């Protein structure tokens, strides 16, 4: 059995063990069916070689056409050839992929949700017609760049400029940590125009003066390719600036749609680690009996199971609210904060229960342990989410000194 297959299995018995509040019963038939399709994709394609890809720092680019053939991009977008399956389905897919190969989940989250949704919510009808069908078919791969080397949490400090020229803009600046950008056809880049206003510009990922180089030496999320971007006077036609809302609100709106996905990814990593460790402690013998029979081990498993069960409810409720148009930015932040924190606890317990084997990338748990650190940081760090929730509680912003 290939490493990771046990975690990819959609066996209802294993699912039930970390679904103590029966969230599964709240899913629609279509949602359940879509998740099962991704579980099959995991079993038949993604599980094999996942450990090797992670160790080599390589994304499963060769599996993208197969993933694309499942017609899963754009769950939160109606029309334009997008799947329209709903935001919950987007989350279920991100979680299912994360169980086995976090690089594929990141690809899906950035292309199939983040960049696609940014264009759908900020673009004009003409812009949507131009890009979304190709993105839905996987012919145009998308990325989205906000973060810069010197401006991460504080997006108001963005230094990338968009200079007005005849027929459009010239973009100059650097972006950091932008996923998918080295393979992207279009990159939604946030930059400031000459008036200092922040805007979203759709940049041709193959443009001559645009370079995106994967960041080397990551300690987690190794089967994904976040990049460093350098832009030197890259031309963007005026028609390729996304004009819905002002720049600050554009960024906030983007985070609202994507923070729930980060929560689902934390859930997927947690389920993958849990299911692997349940199987492991059942067969690992110490002191003459399986580890699973010891009280302390069971306490660890119980903690993981209740945390994951709570994460399932949180993710579902948050994405349902997004689907119904009632999600607030506070709830999106709270969900990301809670799931990243709980997820960190789950993968740490799982890693411990695997003993020395938990230190090896060949086992699902070690990889997920390291990958969870990225979730803790991206789409706004844990601190930033807590300050957003803190402001909601107190009415006072503690973000700035």
* Long-range Cβ pairs for the range 359-365 (8 Å, 24+): 361/51, 361/54, 361/55, 362/3, 362/51, 362/55, 363/3, 363/51, 363/276, 363/280, 364/3, 364/4, 364/6, 364/7, 364/50, 364/99, 364/100, 364/272, 364/273, 364/276, 365/273, 365/276, 365/277, 365/280
Q: Minimum distance from CB of 370 to ligand FAD (Å)?
A: 11
Interaction between residue 229 and ligand FAD (CB under 6 A): no
**Residue 242, SS3?**
strand
Q: Which is nearer to ligand FAD, 91 or 145 (CB)?
A: 145
> Cα(97)–Cα(105) distance, rounded to whole angstroms?
5
Q: Minimum distance from CB of 382 to ligand FAD (Å)?
A: 6
Q: Minimum distance from CB of 383 to ligand FAD (Å)?
A: 3
Q: Which is nearer to ligand FAD, 169 or 255 (CB)?
A: 255
Q: In terms of DSSP bridges, do strands 168-178 and 186-193 run parallel, antiparallel, or are they unpaired?
A: unpaired
Interaction between residue 374 and ligand FAD (CB under 6 A): yes
Q: Minimum distance from CB of 37 to ligand FAD (Å)?
A: 26
Kindly indicate which of the ranges 43-51, 142-150, 260-268, 269-277 contains the residues binding ligand FAD, using the contact rule CB under 6 A: 142-150
In the chain, what is the straight-line distance between the N-terminal and C-terminal CA atoms, in Å?
54
Interaction between residue 360 and ligand FAD (CB under 6 A): no
Kindly indicate which of the ranges 297-305, 310-318, 334-342, 373-381 contains the residues binding ligand FAD, using the contact rule CB under 6 A: 373-381
Q: Which is nearer to ligand FAD, 263 or 384 (CB)?
A: 384
Interaction between residue 364 and ligand FAD (CB under 6 A): no
Q: By the 8 A CB rule, do 357 and 280 touch?
A: yes
Residue with tokens 């949602």: 31
> Cα(17)–Cα(13) distance, rounded to whole angstroms?
7
Interaction between residue 144 and ligand FAD (CB under 6 A): yes
Angle at 195 between CA 190 and CA 201, to 5 degrees: 25
Which residues lie closer than 8 Å to 256 by C-beta, 6 or more apart?
322, 327, 329, 332
Q: Which is nearer to ligand FAD, 225 or 274 (CB)?
A: 225
Site residues (CB under 6 A) for ligand FAD, limited to 148-177:
152-153, 177
Q: In terms of DSSP bridges, do strands 186-193 and 198-204 run parallel, antiparallel, or are they unpaired?
A: antiparallel
Q: Which is nearer to ligand FAD, 58 or 383 (CB)?
A: 383
- Total of chain residues touching ligand FAD, rule CB under 6 A: 22
Q: Which is nearer to ligand FAD, 161 or 357 (CB)?
A: 161
Which residues make up the interface to ligand FAD (CB under 6 A)? 110, 144-147, 152-153, 177-179, 221, 226, 374, 377-381, 383-384, 387, 399
């Amino acid at each position: 059995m290939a490493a990771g297959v046990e975690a990819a299995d959609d066996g209802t018995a294993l699912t039930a063990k970390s679904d103590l509040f029966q969230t599964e019963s709240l899913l629609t038939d279509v949602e359940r069916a879509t998740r099962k399709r991704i579980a099959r994709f995991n079993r038949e394609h993604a599980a094999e070689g996942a450990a090797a890809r992670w160790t080599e720092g390589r994304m499963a680019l060769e599996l993208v056409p197969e993933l694309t053939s499942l017609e899963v991009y754009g769950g939160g977008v109606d029309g334009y050839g997008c799947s329209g399956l709903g935001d919950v389905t987007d989350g279920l897919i991100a979680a299912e992929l994360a169980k086995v190969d976090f690089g594929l989940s990141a690809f899906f989250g950035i292309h199939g949700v983040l960049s696609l949704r940014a264009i759908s919510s900020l673009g004009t009808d003409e812009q949507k017609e131009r890009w979304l069908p190709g993105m839905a078919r996987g012919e145009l791969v998308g990325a989205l760049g906000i973060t810069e080397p010197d401006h991460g949490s504080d997006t108001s400090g963005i230094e990338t400029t968009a200079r007005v020229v005849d027929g459009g803009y010239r973009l100059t600046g650097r972006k950091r940590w932008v996923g998918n950008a080295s393979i992207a056809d279009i990159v939604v880049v946030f930059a400031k125009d000459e008036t200092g206003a922040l805007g979203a510009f759709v940049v041709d990922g193959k443009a001559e003066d645009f370079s995106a180089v994967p960041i080397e030496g990551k300690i987690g999320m190794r089967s994904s390719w976040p990049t460093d971007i350098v832009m030197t006077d890259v031309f963007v036609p005026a028609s390729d600036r996304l004009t819905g809302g002002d720049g600050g609100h554009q960024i906030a709106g983007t985070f609202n749609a994507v923070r729930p996905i980060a929560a689902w990814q934390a859930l997927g990593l947690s389920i993958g680690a849990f299911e692997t460790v349940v199987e492991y402690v059942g067969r690992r013998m110490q002191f003459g009996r399986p580890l699973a029979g010891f009280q302390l081990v069971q306490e660890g498993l119980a903690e993981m199971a209740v945390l994951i069960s709570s994460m399932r409810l949180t993710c579902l409720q948050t994405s349902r609210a997004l689907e119904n148009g009632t999600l607030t930015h506070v709830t999106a932040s709270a969900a990301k904060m809670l799931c990243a924190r709980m997820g960190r606890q789950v993968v740490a317990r799982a890693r411990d229960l695997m003993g020395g084997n938990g230190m090896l990338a060949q086992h699902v748990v070690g990889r997920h342990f390291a990958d969870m650190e990225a979730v803790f940081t991206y789409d706004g760090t844990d601190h930033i989410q807590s300050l957003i929730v803190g402001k909601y509680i107190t009415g006072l912003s503690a973000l700035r000194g």
